[in-house]
Copies of this chain bind each other. A is one copy, B any other.
């Protein structure tokens, strides 16, 4: 099987309390691909410019990521984003966005990409996301990410797109903005009533929670020794989530599988933020992923209340 991701492949200039980087490899589809490639085969659909060279392609290829659908437009430059994070590193401030080649992006999927069982629509204009969704009519499970910009400027289109995917990934502020509802439980129910069976609410360093037909699943954030750059954490989560599902199940809507996928997603996000851009994911080993999963298990395990235990004072 394979996961197909559609989204930005870009250059980022980043400034965090821990330093800065100029024009490093970035983009949602990049972070997703590198994360998912730890679990399964990945195809990336996107567009880059002439400044995206052999070295950049090689960083995908060495992870086995198929770039057949990563179109290169010779006369233009790649998407570029410049951002800064303050001390608490919860929210990025955008300093500069150059759409460049991305301005005219019209995703055209190859036959192989269209027939993927799992398709993730990273954060792009919701009309484009829906167009890709229609090309992948046979997908077993599809997901999308979005952002405050589209919630404000393309709300109706985003709601239409939510209705045709299975998994929606948003942060808590976006869920509240989309629904106009402060209570997260109520807001989650409203988003799911629009169509998606699964809603993953990302909560930055606090972790994430997932809402399905069987209720909520809570994934707390692990305290980490090193937090350098949150860019791409959400995409790394999505990559781990779909990568795990693709490699481990024939029924991706099985609650147990979804829960384990959310744990792997959280673990992959925890690595992503340890260095700038995609640097940590690119040097990540399978042993490190397994170790951190075990650490997550240790940090969340407790003996459940035995039925016979006299819990409370009478």
Contacts and interface: CB of A to CB of B under 8 A. Distances in A.
A313 B240 CA distance: 12
B227 A183 contact: yes
Nearest to A246: B313
Interface of A is mostly: mixed
A191 interface: no
B217 A302 contact: yes
Contacts of A183: 224-227
A97 B301 CA distance: 41
A252 to B, nearest CB: 15
A299 interface: yes
Contact of A290 (B184, B203, B207, B311): B311
A247 B311 CA distance: 8
Interface string A231-259: 00000000000010001000000001001
Count of chain copies: 2
B256 A215 contact: no
A312 B227 contact: no
Contacts of A222: 216, 218
A24 interface: no
B259 A302 contact: yes
B206 A263 contact: no
Interface in A167-222: 182-186, 188, 203, 205-207, 209, 215-222
Given A182-B87, A186-B225, A218 B215 contact: no
A294 B215 CA distance: 13
Contacts of A286: 311-312, 314
B289 A311 contact: yes
Interface residues of A, number: 57
A283 interface: no
Contact of A223 (B39, B184, B290, B298): B184
Contacts of A259: 301-303
Contacts of A185: 223-225
B298 A215 contact: yes
A303 B219 contact: no
Contact of A293 (B203, B247, B297, B305): B305
Given A186-B225, A220-B209, A260-B303, A293 B313 contact: no
A17 interface: yes
